[in-house]
A and B are shown apart, each in its own frame.
Chain A
Amino acid sequence: MSLLSVTEQEYLRTSLESKNNNNLQPIRPDGRKIDQFRPMGISLDFLPTSNGSTRLVSSDGTEIIVSSKVECVDATGLDLGDFLVIDLDIQGYRDDSIYVNQMKSILYKSLNSKLMESGCLKINAKYSFKLCLDVLVLSKFSYPLSLISMAIYTTLQSTNVPMLLESESEKNANISGRSGANQPKDIELNIDELPQFNDYDMKPLNFQSPLIFLIALIGDNCIVDPSELESSVADNCLLVSFYDKKVTAPIKSISLNDSYIKGFTPQHLQKSIKLVEKIAPDVVAALN
Chain B
Amino acid sequence: MSVISVVKKSTGSLIDDDTPYYYKDSKTGTDVLENGDGDEPMSEEESEAHDNDADTAGIITPGKLITDDSIWMRGHGTYSLANNTYSSVCGTISKVNKLLSVKPLNGRYQPETGDHVIGRIVDVGNKRWKVDIGAKQHAILMLGSVNLPGGVLRRKSESDELQMRSFLKEGDLLNAEVQSLFSDGAASLHTRSLKYGKLRNGLFVQVPSSLIVRSKDHTHDLPGNITVILGVNGYVWIRKTTVPGTSGTNNNGAGLNNVSASASTAATLNYLRANEKDYQPGITRLEEESSWEIYSDKNDNIPNSIRQTIVRYSNVVKSLAHCQIGITEQRVIQGYEASMAYPNLGTLIETETMESLGQDVINAEKMRG
Contact surface of A with B, Cβ cutoff 8 Å: 3-8, 10-11, 14-15, 18, 24, 27-33, 35-46, 48, 55, 59, 154, 158, 224, 279, 282-283, 286-287
**Which residues from A are CB-within-8-Å of B200?**
7
**Which residues from A are CB-within-8-Å of B9?**
41-44
Instruction: Point out which of A7, A28, A29, A286 has the most chain B C-beta atoms below 10 A from its C-beta.
Output: A7
Query: What are 17 A-to-B residue pairs whose CB atoms are below 8 Å?
Result: A4-B171, A7-B297, A11-B203, A27-B304, A27-B307, A27-B311, A29-B203, A30-B315, A31-B346, A36-B3, A39-B350, A40-B7, A44-B10, A45-B10, A282-B2, A283-B3, A286-B6
Report the Cα distance A3→B14, complex, angstroms. 34
Contact B14 A46 (CB under 8 A): yes
Contact B351 A18 (CB under 8 A): no
Selected from A5, A14, A30, the residue in CB contact (under 8 A) with B172 is A5
Report the Cα distance A223→B351, complex, angstroms. 21
User: Closest Cβ of chain A: how far from B19's Cβ, in Å?
Assistant: 13
Contact B315 A31 (CB under 8 A): yes
User: Closest Cβ of chain A: how far from B166's Cβ, in Å?
Assistant: 12
Name the 6 nearest CB pairs between A and B, nearest first.
A31-B345, A37-B4, A44-B10, A6-B297, A3-B171, A31-B311
Report the Cα distance A46→B9, complex, angstroms. 9
Chain B stretch 160-192: residues in CB contact (< 8 A) with chain A: 170-173
Nearest B residue to A287, CB-CB: B6
Contact A30 B6 (CB under 8 A): no
Report the Cα distance A45→B13, complex, angstroms. 8
User: Closest Cβ of chain B: how far from A221's Cβ, in Å?
Assistant: 14
Contact B14 A11 (CB under 8 A): no
**Is B43 close to A, CB under 8 A?**
no
Nearest A residue to B200, CB-CB: A7
Contact A30 B314 (CB under 8 A): yes
**Which residues from A are CB-within-8-Å of B12?**
43-46, 48
User: Closest Cβ of chain A: how far from B130's Cβ, in Å?
Assistant: 12
**Is B201 close to A, CB under 8 A?**
yes
Contact A11 B302 (CB under 8 A): yes
On whether A286 and B120 interact (CB within 8 A), knowing A7-B298, A11-B302, the answer reads no
Chain B stretch 281-325: residues in CB contact (< 8 A) with chain A: 297-299, 302, 304, 307-308, 311-312, 314-315, 318
**Is B5 close to A, CB under 8 A?**
yes
User: Closest Cβ of chain A: how far from B84's Cβ, in Å?
Assistant: 36
Nearest B residue to A2, CB-CB: B171
Nearest A residue to B13, CB-CB: A46
Contact A11 B299 (CB under 8 A): yes
On whether A3 and B120 interact (CB within 8 A), knowing A18-B304, A30-B311, A282-B3, the answer reads yes
Contact A158 B171 (CB under 8 A): no
**Is B234 close to A, CB under 8 A?**
no
**Which residues from A are CB-within-8-Å of B350?**
39
User: Closest Cβ of chain B: how far from A275's Cβ, in Å?
Assistant: 10
Contact A38 B3 (CB under 8 A): no
User: Closest Cβ of chain B: how far from A109's Cβ, in Å?
Assistant: 25
Contact with A along B336-352 (1 / 0, CB 8 A): 00000000111011110
User: Closest Cβ of chain B: how far from A64's Cβ, in Å?
Assistant: 13
Contact B4 A30 (CB under 8 A): no
Contact A29 B6 (CB under 8 A): no
Selected from A29, A31, A39, the residue in CB contact (under 8 A) with B5 is A39
**Which residues from B are CB-within-8-Å of A59?**
349, 351
User: Closest Cβ of chain B: how far from A136's Cβ, in Å?
Assistant: 14
User: Closest Cβ of chain B: how far from A231's Cβ, in Å?
Assistant: 15
**Which residues from B are CB-within-8-Å of A24?**
304
Contact B202 A11 (CB under 8 A): yes
Report the Cα distance A287→B13, complex, angstroms. 18
| Given A33-B3, A158-B10, A282-B3, 11 new contacts (CB under 8 A) | A3-B122, A4-B171, A5-B172, A5-B198, A7-B297, A14-B299, A29-B311, A33-B1, A43-B8, A282-B2, A287-B6
**Is B204 close to A, CB under 8 A?**
yes
**Which residues from B are CB-within-8-Å of A45?**
10, 12
Contact B4 A283 (CB under 8 A): yes
Report the Cα distance A14→B306, complex, angstroms. 13
**Which residues from B are CB-within-8-Å of A33?**
1, 3, 344, 346
**Is B357 close to A, CB under 8 A?**
no
Contact A27 B299 (CB under 8 A): no
Nearest B residue to A53, CB-CB: B12
User: Closest Cβ of chain A: how far from B154's Cβ, in Å?
Assistant: 25
User: Closest Cβ of chain A: how far from B26's Cβ, in Å?
Assistant: 31
